[in-house]
Amino acid sequence: MDASIRTDFNELVEPLLGLAEKRLAEQGEFRPFGARVAAGGQLAVIEVAPAVEHPCSPLIIDSLYATFRLEARAGTIRACAVCWDATVPRGEGGGLMDAIAIGAEHRDGEPRVIVEAYVRDPSGEIHFEDPITSAGRRHVFGNVLFC
């Protein structure tokens, strides 16, 4: 991966993980949110419908991706990421566990998904595992087919 793409992904992922971890600790959950790196390099965190009490997470994710697609077509962003509370297969013992998931995209590189699983112990303290990165899926940059 090119160094400039890695830098942009790091600039997106670090604050998103930090904010998601903070919200989990304070509220026990979080709504999806995103971030973007503008063409000039400025970082912005994006919230959708913060005043709505129980918004539907898939609709928020779709709204974030739609906003980023418009900005990408206009050429005003070079990278973006969407963060959501997920459930992933447990590494050992079977079953599922909670995780923070981030879908990151860059106009000049391949998309990535970053997953940071976590468990809450009986006292309520949250323990995060090391993040895992894998290939992602395009939602914003490039040719996206709608069926």
Q: Does 142 fall in a domain?
A: no
CB atoms < 10 A from the CB of 99, how many? 23
Q: Does 144 fall in a domain?
A: no
Q: Does 57 fall in a domain?
A: yes
Instruction: Write out the residue range of the structural domain in which residue 53 sits.
Output: 3-135
Tokens at residue 3, please?
């160094």
CB atoms < 10 A from the CB of 89, how many? 10
Q: Does 140 fall in a domain?
A: no
pTM of the model: 0.90
Q: Does 86 fall in a domain?
A: yes
User: Can you point out the beta strands (E) in 2-90?
Assistant: 33-38, 43-46, 77-89
The total number of structural domains in the chain stands at: 1
Q: What is the pLDDT along the chain (147 residues), one digit of tens a residue?
A: 789 999 999 999 999 999 999 999 998 889 999 999 999 999 999 987 665 566 678 889 999 999 999 999 999 999 999 999 999 998 788 899 999 999 999 999 999 999 999 999 999 899 999 999 999 999 999 765 554
Q: Does 93 fall in a domain?
A: yes
